[in-house]
Homo-oligomer: A and B are copies of this chain.
């Protein structure tokens, strides 16, 4: 029993005894049997991640972070894919009945929701009703579900626009993400704000909306490149769409970055596999995955009164502007 107390850092144990036990634990490489723990205590030591993002690469990076954190704190990670996450499109229907079953507190201690499922109002409602501890990744705080891990999307896009403008660009364009992505909306806000703050204008014809895949980036770019007053810099709200911009430019024999600057968002693998390599905002996905698990766990400890520290509900991690070959000085400003 005293061993149990030491392992769980719960209850009072004499300092000396605790140390003696710690030593023994290290010696035998003892690790609690998670099954027995689950059987006995009320907790399940399982965390669920539900994802419906068709961009598996993106989700996989988060996943790796979650895996690591879970192992460190002795949790199991369950992964549930909903919707057609193998296809190329997004926004496919979610089976709420199935999800409701999964969210049974007798099977999991908490849930992590990455985008875009973390923006789904109906799902959030279910989570709230079932009172399942929940951490959302990206977006803004939502009703009754405060736990969240993100980067500052507004600031990141603001900084990117600043960079474009510092390179002499005045005619900027943006390809927004799908409407239901709150994170993407914030990027748009940040981008616009910088333009406004520099006394420039973002004309409505310079605003396109894609759906985060390469094809849509290509199509939006065609529209933009066809404009009489063609923009000299395009910000696509993720790297896949930015890759589509690149291919559209190549089709039209527009040289990058000499005639057109392009930037993406995420620093996904594709950012470095296209040519030229993409200027982008790096999002620390792996760290975000780790943090989300840690945040969830400390919250679970808190509501079980196993911890006295208050849990910070909003974790903002650092992003980073990566300038690569797809962007440069504005051609018009050159002379």
Contact = CB atoms under 8 A, between A and B. Distances in A.
A76 interface: yes
The interface residues of chain A, by DSSP majority, are classed as helix
Nearest to A57: B57
Contacts of A86: 64, 286
Interface in A266-288: 269-270, 272-275, 286
A56 interface: yes
A25 interface: no
A35 interface: yes
Contacts of A243: 273-274
A316 interface: no
Q: Give this chain's copy count.
A: 2
Interface residues of A, number: 40
10 contacts: A29-B101, A35-B35, A35-B36, A56-B269, A57-B269, A59-B60, A64-B85, A67-B79, A86-B286, A240-B273
Contacts of A35: 34-39
A31 B316 CA distance: 39
Contacts of A29: 101
Q: Please name the 6 residue pairs, one residue from A and one from B, whose CB atoms are nearest each other, closest first.
A: A35-B35, A247-B275, A35-B38, A214-B273, A60-B60, A57-B57
A324 interface: no
